[in-house]
A = this chain, B = another copy of it.
Amino acid sequence: MEINIAFTQTPIDFSPSPLPSHEIGAVVEFQGIVRGTEGPAAITALDYEAYEPMARRRLIEHIRELGLSYHCAAVVFVHRLGRVPVGEASLLVRVFSKHRGTALALCGELIDRMKADVPIWKCNAA
């Protein structure tokens, strides 16, 4: 499985990723967007931080492990760090697979695992 992980301080680039092969029948893309409220408070932005070497290592471990259950061809993971304004994306996940079921399952479970077990966090609301 191709795995491509990136962290960026600038807005996430959503230009299409090339298809890894002619065996791809499903591309699932997830965007996590900063909402205008955090708990009860109205906000204008969230600040994100990551411990990048560990985050990258953990993400690769989780993606490889999920790939054993959900065979997929490629995963792209991009997380924005620093200040992210409301309405902009903090996270992009793209999964390429032969079939939609594996792509949707891997995408959802990867985000669950990221929230539970990867050192990327909201450090401040503005």
Contact = CB atoms under 8 A, between A and B. Distances in A.
A24 interface: yes
A108 B17 CA distance: 21
Contacts of A34: 25
Contact of A36 (B23, B27, B37, B86): B23
A6 interface: no
A100 B104 contact: no
A77 to B, nearest CB: 14
Nearest to A31: B27
A23 B33 CA distance: 9
Interface string A20-32: 0011111111111
Contacts of A98: 35
Interface of A: 14, 16, 19, 22-37, 86-87, 89, 98, 100-101, 104, 107-108, 111
Q: Please provide the 3 A-B residue pairs with the shortest distance between their CB atoms, ordered closest to farther.
A: A22-B36, A27-B31, A29-B29
